Structure 1
């Protein structure tokens, strides 16, 4: 953990209380809850909003939905870089909250003012009017700002929350409850707010999102006196770039095996008295820390930053290189999840969504079963599974084992989805053949629950496992970026998922605008096969990877302090 900044040391001496700790926990969790409630209210029902209010065709609406989910997942990288390099987590969070608030206000206007939407038409009609350019500009401005704001807060909050604790065990507990605060409010928004949008008005539903965003921001600011603020240390990516440039510049210099020939400097800028030799992994990069004539100034500092780097900076870059293969497995893991979170909404539009004779489940609410199963499973893991494992084996599952379980469950969910869709298509065709009037008795939407529940259980394992793994294994200068790495591969996966859907539409005909005329079950089978191949790749990467920090942290986390 980084040392306390000067202003925090002063705060400690005057108040007698060390900043951070469990007193910050309710503020962080409540903030996450409010912002998650706001985000879930507009994200979860976006496909239906585009189809019903902007006359967008179903598969195109699903792809737009994936694009903006990808933005939500990619924007945390920008927020993390800004937090690590310039503003710090606190400033990034409150500024991003204001940006998302502005975006949601624009969405309220698109829903409440008729001139901002095209004239209404029945789904599938050939007489539908396309939205005008100004209507699309305002809609997309609201969506982009909302996505930018959500992206800037979601994973930066995870890092700031973890920074409040010194023990890895406490950080792990925070990550579990952070996920609960992300998913449980999303369950509420995906049901209650979506119901308001479908049965009262879209403007009222988006208005609730605005109120939740304001509440989350207010709670976050109220906790300001208690937070531990870790000051940004400048752009760590610039330092990593210097390692590559310096190594290339010295590519003809012979590598030394003596530690005293390498420049030693710690993260805080102090010079190390220990002559540590860089590791032999990617030893080409060791040249960046090798001292040559003219590299060191009269005061012992680096004279030419682009020709000499500290050993620690070289090792930081190597640690990222070691992690990359595991990170790439997350991209392929997330592609099926992306497809599983968008296409079931379109399936639900063709299925019987009635519960009883009077209530009908909104199609946009169907993904709530992912959120519910994730939330329940995370609580079970934190309160039952981990304590039981610690009692009998002395330690919980390592992060990589948790992620591996998530891989298996994701592949299983795709196979179940394929079987259910195959049955749905057979039922549709059977009733069309049997009923002379062409009426269809659709399958109940509840048949989609098992596949979505399995996806959620898988997320409860691999999502917190990935966040904890990257936070513990990333260099100290990249802590904010570490938690955003999960968002990064999710964001890439949304766009790759769209590419997979486009490819299958072009070459197979499995994804027409009317999915009853297609073979969505084959799409799911392809995803199941990819999931299993990726799991084998993951096993190889995990077997070859050696923990740098996490395993030691788990070994020590359960030991009492002396």
Structure 2
């Protein structure tokens, strides 16, 4: 009895000590299992539901194939748009921890409702054909209420799954004090992210196709619940960054104050209001128009030094923060096209797989929704290979590891090469005809090439934005890649719609179309976009060279 009491007292003392740890003693790698666990389980759940969404809409809701692909693109676009909203709210009001916890729970509610659409007959059309290319249902199409429930489930999944995705990455990076540890974290973050997508796109999709939709989606809901629990268990270890207000308000003040002080002469100005004693007395000479926002004139400040008119005076730091965003925008603008091509390739690949021989060894059949495994697996395998072999070899021959801009550029090249490869495969499939089905394995090489490109340009962009964005916008910086992907998926929907209206390349039966010409179009546009990126990269100057150098050292450290 005494031993038990001593054990309980010791456990209480440990918990009390952990609860009283100051923020500077929290964080570190002890938090990684909980953050990565949340990411892993959320990725499995969302991957299992999203990867097979096109097939589910065709088989269970009687949608036509192109319409189902369009819905899937919209869902994927929303999943990648909501992280921006989550990051803004986290940066401005509640912090990363609260956003990840709440978003994970919302995703769980959506997953439960989505499971009910297949488990309860009243929530879906009756007796739809099980053939993936057949869209007829004996009782007609889905009712308005059934569509409302379906879209409500998808909306909750989008808000929850998307809202937690890159806010989780910011929370993880905040646990470390050095750029070296942050780079290592981002590397493993993407490894876990893609591994979870692979599991969801293979194991869960196989269960949905061969055991039952209800059982497969039920597993997704259970795994999502585990993500919430694991994340909350690690709460005592997290270093939570204090939110000091919306940084976007400060940026808006710079614009307003610059306009208001249009006629103020910058020459001879001696006083600039700065919130930090960091030696930054005057703003830089680039985009000099905004410098007026930081000029103090009579009436801008109170006798005690506080700001009297917030919308007439901004800090030097806020002025420089806005300039940093303006300078990086051209680079950012070249990135959405990468996601447009990837989004179209993934949706068209599923439709191609439905028309190809998916059997391996005569018995096993690859589910159409699992074909994207080629891209996901290549990313997951390439990331460690790059950090432990390719980048160190590059450093030995070139004297330093490739910087983020070089990695992104290489990703651009592989992206349009992957589109050209998909065009060649589709042309060969059309020539073989329906009498001699082409093996679905021919779809994998282009997906692998595109996946290797993702392993280069996606982490490269996250690292670049995290280094170059203002410190107050760290959450938003990691979510910028998500905004790029969101724009890409939305634009891919628009591009597919435009192609359908103006050409005969994308009929409902793709055997009668020319998907290969769509791929060739994407390859040509990708080459033009790469040239634009090269111009932007050559003109760009790193805002913080020290961070860039530390990032290179981190890549070197990963190889040892």
Q: Same fold (TM over 0.5)?
A: yes
1:37 alignment counterpart: 44
How far apart are the structure 1 equivalents of 2:382 and 2:281? 44
Q: How does 1:86-235 map to 2 (within 5 A)?
A: 86-122=93-129, 123-124=133-134, 129-235=140-246
Structure 2 gaps of 5+ residues are: 1-16
Residue 308 (structure 2) aligned to one of 303, 306, 323:
303
Shift of the 183–247 alpha-carbon distance from structure 1 to 2, 3 Å rule, reads same
Residue 512 (structure 1) aligned to one of 507, 510, 523:
507
Following TM superposition, by how much is the alpha carbon of 1:395 offset from its aligned partner in structure 2, in angstroms? 3.2
Following TM superposition, by how much is the alpha carbon of 1:383 offset from its aligned partner in structure 2, in angstroms? 2.2
1:238 alignment counterpart: 249
Q: How does 1:324-335 map to 2 (within 5 A)?
A: 324-335=329-340
How far apart are the structure 1 equivalents of 2:26 and 2:527? 46
Q: CA RMSD in A?
A: 2.0
How far apart are the structure 2 equivalents of 1:23 and 1:102? 29
Following TM superposition, by how much is the alpha carbon of 1:199 offset from its aligned partner in structure 2, in angstroms? 0.9
1:358 alignment counterpart: 363
Residue 422 (structure 2) aligned to one of 414, 417, 436:
417
How far apart are the structure 1 equivalents of 2:539 and 2:55? 45
Query: Once the two structures are superposed, what CA deviation does each residue of 1:405-450 show, in whole Å capped at 9, x if it has no partner?
Result: 100000000000001101111111xx6xxxxxxxx22111001000
| TM value normalised by structure 1 | 0.92
How far apart are the structure 1 equivalents of 2:317 and 2:77? 33
Following TM superposition, by how much is the alpha carbon of 1:384 offset from its aligned partner in structure 2, in angstroms? 2.0
How far apart are the structure 2 equivalents of 1:39 and 1:125? 25
1:435 alignment counterpart: none
Following TM superposition, by how much is the alpha carbon of 1:152 offset from its aligned partner in structure 2, in angstroms? 0.9
Q: How does 1:388-399 map to 2 (within 5 A)?
A: 388-390=393-395, 393=398, 395-399=400-404
How far apart are the structure 2 equivalents of 1:386 and 1:145? 40
Query: Once the two structures are superposed, what CA deviation does each residue of 1:284-311 show, in whole Å capped at 9, x if it has no partner?
Result: 1111111111001111011100000001
Structure 1 gaps of 5+ residues are: 1-9, 267-271, 432-439
* Secondary structure of the corresponding residue to residue 296 of structure 2: coil
Shift of the 528–107 alpha-carbon distance from structure 1 to 2, 3 Å rule, reads same
Query: Once the two structures are superposed, what CA deviation does each residue of 1:304-358 show, in whole Å capped at 9, x if it has no partner?
Result: 0000000100110110000111111111221111111111001100000001121
How far apart are the structure 1 equivalents of 2:551 and 2:63? 55
Query: Once the two structures are superposed, what CA deviation does each residue of 1:54-109 show, in whole Å capped at 9, x if it has no partner?
Result: 00001111110000000000000010011101110000001000000000000110
1:53 alignment counterpart: 60
| TM value normalised by structure 2 | 0.92
Following TM superposition, by how much is the alpha carbon of 1:391 offset from its aligned partner in structure 2, in angstroms? 5.0
1:488 alignment counterpart: 483
- Residue 63 (structure 1) aligned with residue 56 (structure 2): no
Aligned residues: 536
How far apart are the structure 2 equivalents of 1:231 and 1:16? 10
- 1:472 and 1:550 in contact (8 A); partners too: no
How far apart are the structure 2 equivalents of 1:412 and 1:47? 26
How far apart are the structure 1 equivalents of 2:465 and 2:427? 38
- 1:395 and 1:555 in contact (8 A); partners too: no
